[in-house]
Amino acid sequence: MLPLTSQISKKVLKNHISSLQGIRHPLVAPEALEKAAVYIKTSLQDSGYEVEPHYFFDNGKKYRNLIATLPGTVTNQPKLLIIAHYDTVANSPGADDNASGVALLLELARVFVQVRPRRTVEFIAVNLEENERETEPKGRGLRGSRALAQHAREQEWDLAGVVVLESIAYAGPDAVQTMPEGLPIEVPTVGDFLAVIGNQTSASLVESFIHAADQYQPELPTVSLVVPDNGELFPDTRRSDHAPFWDEGYPAIMLTDTTNFRSPHYHKPSDTLETLNLDFTAAVGRAVAGLILNLSG
């Protein structure tokens, strides 16, 4: 049998993205958003998981996150969460943002169901990451992950870390990389790397991921950034589902291709499967699988 990290399948990732791509939006395409939730639930069940809904309300409507749990063999161990959001903005099929992250979430769950880690691992698809309307104030999104992070704090979850898979498929030697103003690090001008973003509470988790990437996928270029406090000085570092966990005091990292700082297809109708680099996504998957092994094995 192949080593576990080598079982990440580019073909499976492609099939998931192909099945998921299409506008998945609570107002413009609610049926497609629900269809995506059913697809995720069915895929996780087919891999052998029981899937529990985590319900939350937004604007008077009921939505759900989906949680698949891989139980640990040792009690009282802080658990590890792997998260990706399954909604899109109103005008984009969202192949990179974020069918790519969901595809890897499902593939990691499939691969890891064959092992029994010491630490419990939860694979969670969250809803309503994006703003409901492009005209809404910045920061209106993250409703599913905010509800989940608040639930974690209320239920006194002990978390070893949260790994957020956010747009992980647009990369290559021809991708032009830009960066937000004022970042305290040098960023390459070629967008062929994975960005690893954490805050001070998450610094050791950032280091653990970089170590896992070097160990299990040394060909994957990475650039890491640890921001002060909860990233308030650099708002662009808070633009995904890790931020609510920072706000609740949990260690969390975002793995990303940097979206609009690299991809010309970000939040556009052209964000399709044909534009993606699935070799890159699979490489990210092997690095994340290595992190899970290192932290939960």
Write the pLDDT tens digit of every residue in 173-229: 999 999 998 899 999 999 999 999 999 999 999 999 999 999 999 999 999 999 999
Provide the CATH number for the domain around residue 127: 3.40.630.10
| pLDDT at residue 258 greater than cutoff 80 | yes
Cβ of 122: how many Cβ atoms within 10 Å? 20
Percent of the chain with pLDDT over 70: 96
Domain membership of residue 160 as a residue range: 4-296
Q: Round the average pLDDT of the chain to a whole number and report it.
A: 95
pTM of the model: 0.96
Token pair, residue 89, equals 């903005």
Residue 135's pLDDT band, with cuts at 50, 70 and 90, is very low
Greatest distance between any 2 Cα atoms in the chain: 51
3-state secondary structure the chain: CCCHHHHCCHHHHHHHHHHHCCCCECCCEHHHHHHHHHHHHHHHHHCCCCEEEEEEEECCEEEEEEEEEECCCCCCCCEEEEEEECCCCCCCCCHHHHHHHHHHHHHHHHHHCCCCCCCCEEEEEECCCCCCCCCCCCCCCCHHHHHHHHHHHHCCCCEEEEEEEECCCCCCCCCECCCCCCCCCCCCCECCCEEEEEEHHHHHHHHHHHHHHHHHCCCCCEEEEEECCCCCCCHHHHCCCCHHHHHCCCCEEEEECCHHHCCCCCCCCCCCHHHCCHHHHHHHHHHHHHHHHHHHC
Token pair, residue 118, equals 């010491």
| pLDDT at residue 58 greater than cutoff 70 | yes
| pLDDT at residue 137 greater than cutoff 70 | no
Bridge partners, 222 (sequence order): 194
Task: Please give the tally of structural domains in the chain.
Answer: 1
Q: What is the pLDDT of residues 2-14, one digit of tens each?
A: 688 889 999 999 9
Residue 140's pLDDT band, with cuts at 50, 70 and 90, is low
